[in-house]
Structure 1
Amino acid sequence: MKVLIHHIYEYRKGLRSLVMHTLPASLTEAATTKLRHFGIEYHLQQCLSGKVNIYFGKPECVAVVRRITHSRKLVEMTPEEDFMLGSMLGYGMQIQCERYLKKSGAFPVALSVQNCA
């Protein structure tokens, strides 16, 4: 729960617009109680192995997460949905691009620099 408290702190200070926090399903009630206490919008997503992802942040961001996930697990999302979600969460763009290419079956690609004439 200490990491969740830190994520809430970062959100409230404006460092993040959207947070994804993974925790054991048994702590879901305590976590959502804390988010409701601060009036923070959230969305729950079931994971494999008895864990839950809690997405929380700006209402517009959480609304997009709801539309993207459609109550599916993270591993069930398309490469495009996964890319969008990772980008919204602020993950490094190069890593997100590599992840997208791998998930879409286009990796490894021969990356070359094109010179302009």
Structure 2
Amino acid sequence: MKVLIHHIYEFRKGLRSLVMHTLPVGKMAEATARLRRFGIDYHIHAAGTKTINVFFGAPECVTVVRLICGEKKLRDLTPEEDFVLGSMLGYDIRKQCERYLKKSAMDATSKPLMQKCA
């Protein structure tokens, strides 16, 4: 729970617009009570049989997470959805691009997906 508290601190200080925090299912009530106490919007997403991902942050960001993730497993997101989610979470953009290319069955040396704009 110490890491969750730190993530809440970072969100409240404006360091993050969106946070994904993974924790055991048994800690869900405590985590959501804390988020509600601070008036922070959140979305619970199953991560495994014993864990959950709690996405929380700015309401518009959490709404996008709800639209992208729905009931899908994160591993089932399209390359584009995965890219958007990782970018929203503040992951290194270059690594997100590499990940997108791999998930799209392409690498940086392959033929471009699109021709250059004229």
TM (norm. structure 2) is 0.89
Question: Shift of the alpha carbon at 1:81?
Answer: 0.3
Q: Distance in 2 between matches of 1:48 and 1:54?
A: 13
Distance across 2 between alignment mates of 1:28 and 1:76: 23
Deviations 1:18-52 (A, max 9, x none): 00101111111110011001000000110124210
Runs of 4+ in 1 over 6 A off after TM superposition: none
Alignment of 1:56 onto 2:56? yes
Q: Deviations over 1:58-110 (max 9, x none)?
A: 00000010000012111111111000000011100011001111111112x31
Aligned residue in 2 for 1:106: 106
How many positions carry a matched residue from both structures? 110
Q: In structure 2, how many angstroms separate the alpha carbons of the residues matched to 1:22 and 1:103?
A: 23
Percent identity over the alignment?
Answer: 61
Match of residue 71 from structure 1: 71
Question: Partners of 2:106 and 2:26 in 1: how far apart?
Answer: 38
How much has 1:55 moved relative to structure 2?
A: 0.4
The AA in structure 2 aligned to 1:65 is V
User: What's the RMSD between the two structures over aligned residues?
Assistant: 1.1
Structure-2 separation of matches of 1:71 and 1:12: 27
Q: Which amino acid aligns with 1:68?
A: I
Please tell me the residue identity of whatever aligns with 2:109.
A
Name structure 2 gaps, 5 residues minimum. Answer: 111-118
Counterpart code for 1:82 = D
